[in-house]
Amino acid sequence: MRVLDSAIFSPLFSDAEISALLTDEAFVGALVEVEAALARAQARVGVIPAATAEQISRVKAADIDIAVLTKETIRSGFPIIALVQQIRRQAGEEAGSYVHWGATTQDIMDSAAVLQMRAASEIFQHDIREIIRRLSEVAQRHRTTVMAGRTHGQQALPITFGLKVASWMAPMLRHVERLDEILPRLLVVQFGGAAGTLAALGNKGLAVSEALADELKLAVPVMSWHAQRDSLVEFAGWLSLVTGSLGKMAQDVILLAQTEVGEAAESSEQGRGGSSTMPQKSNPITSELMLAAARTNASLLSALHHAQIQEHERATHGWQVEWLTLPQMMIITGGALKHALDLAQNLQVDEAVMRVNMVRANDIVLAEAAVFALANWMPRLKAEEMVKKACGIAISEARPLIDVVKETVAVPDGTVDWRALADPANYLGEAEKIIDRVLERANELLSK
C-alpha cells in the first residue's frame, strides 16, 4: 500500500490543493511552460526566430502523451527527451528544431520544480495565515482562562489557556517571516546548459537566462545551481519546521485530551475518533495525524541533507533523492496545515475541568507563589524549605496547599493576604501582556 497514493489513506495525510500541484499532469504542464518560456526568451535576445518561439508556445500540455513519457523515462531515467520529441512534433519540423535550444534536462526539470514550489508556497502562506487568525481568536477568548502550566509533565505554575495558544501561534508568525526570507533564494530560474557554462549559446547565454527568468517571473541566480542544492534543502527545512511546530500543538492537545486530564477535546463532533470496539473512545485523530506528519518530515529532511552532497558540475543520484522526498514533504505539510486549521476551528476547552485538576492536585501550582509571599519577611531559602514541607503534607493529606502553609508557618497578622494567595488567577505574572504582544504581531501580519 502506498499511503500518499491511496484513495483511502491519502486524505488523512495530504491537502487536495497541494496534491493537485504535484500530479504528473501538473508537472508536465510546468515542463511545457518552461520549454515555451525558453523559446520566447531566446527569441527576445535574437537566438531563435520570433515566429518559431510563437509556434513552440502554442504547444499545449494537455496534448502531451504521458504514457509515452512514462515508457521513455524508464529507458532514459528522465522524461525530458520524450517531452522534447513530442513538443517538436507538435510545433512542426521547422520550429521543432529550436525546441530545448542550448538547455539541458536539469534546466527544465529544476525550473519546473521551482514553479511548483512557488505555487505551493502561496497555498502554505494562505493556510498559515488562516491558522494564525483562528488561533488568535482562541487566545483572545481564553486570555484569562486559568489552568495548570506543566513542566516535565507535572503541574508547575498557573498559566492561562490563552498563553498556551499564544505559544502555538508565535512559531507560526516566525515561519511566515522565514518563508518570506527563503523565497528570494528559492524562486530562481535554473539555466546553465550541459555543464553550467552556457557554451551552446555563445555570448548570449546569460542574456537568455535573464530573459527566461523574466518570462517565468523568477529571479536570476548568480550562476546555475545544478549541483548546489542548498536552497531546496533550506525549503525542506522550513517544511519540517512548520510541521514540527504543528506537531508541538498536536502533542499538547493529545495530552490535554487524556481521560485523566480532560481539559480539551479536538471537536464536539459525535463519533469522531471512535473505536471499533470501545464505545467510550473519542481518539484525538487530528492531532495524531499532525504529529505523524511532523515526525515523518523530520525523517525525510535527513535525506535532503544527504542529497545536498553532489559531485562536480552535475551529480549522479542526489537529484533523484530529491524527487523521492521533497514532493512528499510538501504534500505532508499541506495535510498537516489542513488538520491544524480544523483543530483551531473546532477545539473544545473545558474551563471547569482545568480548575478541578488544580484543586485535585491540592493547588500545588501555588508553591512558588507561597515561597515569594513568605520571602517578604523571611529568608527565601527558609521559605522554600517550609513550603516544600507543606507540599508534602498537602499531597499526603489531600488538602489545599495554601491552607497547609497558613497553618504550619507562623507569620505576623496581615503579612500575607491568604485569600488572594489561594487564587491561582492572582499568580499569572505578565501572561495577558505576553498574549497581547503575540496578538499584536499576528494582527500586523494579517493586515499586510
State in Å, rounded, how far the first CA of the chain is from the last one: 43
| Nearest by Cα to 81 from 105, 57, 64 | 105
Residue 19: active-site member: no
Catalytic residue among 275, 295, 360, 380: 275
Cα separation, 88 vs 98, in Å, equals 8
Q: Which of 44, 143, 314, 441 is catalytic?
A: 314
275 is known as an active-site residue: yes
C-alpha cell at 305: 541533507
**Hey, which residues are catalytic here?**
275, 314
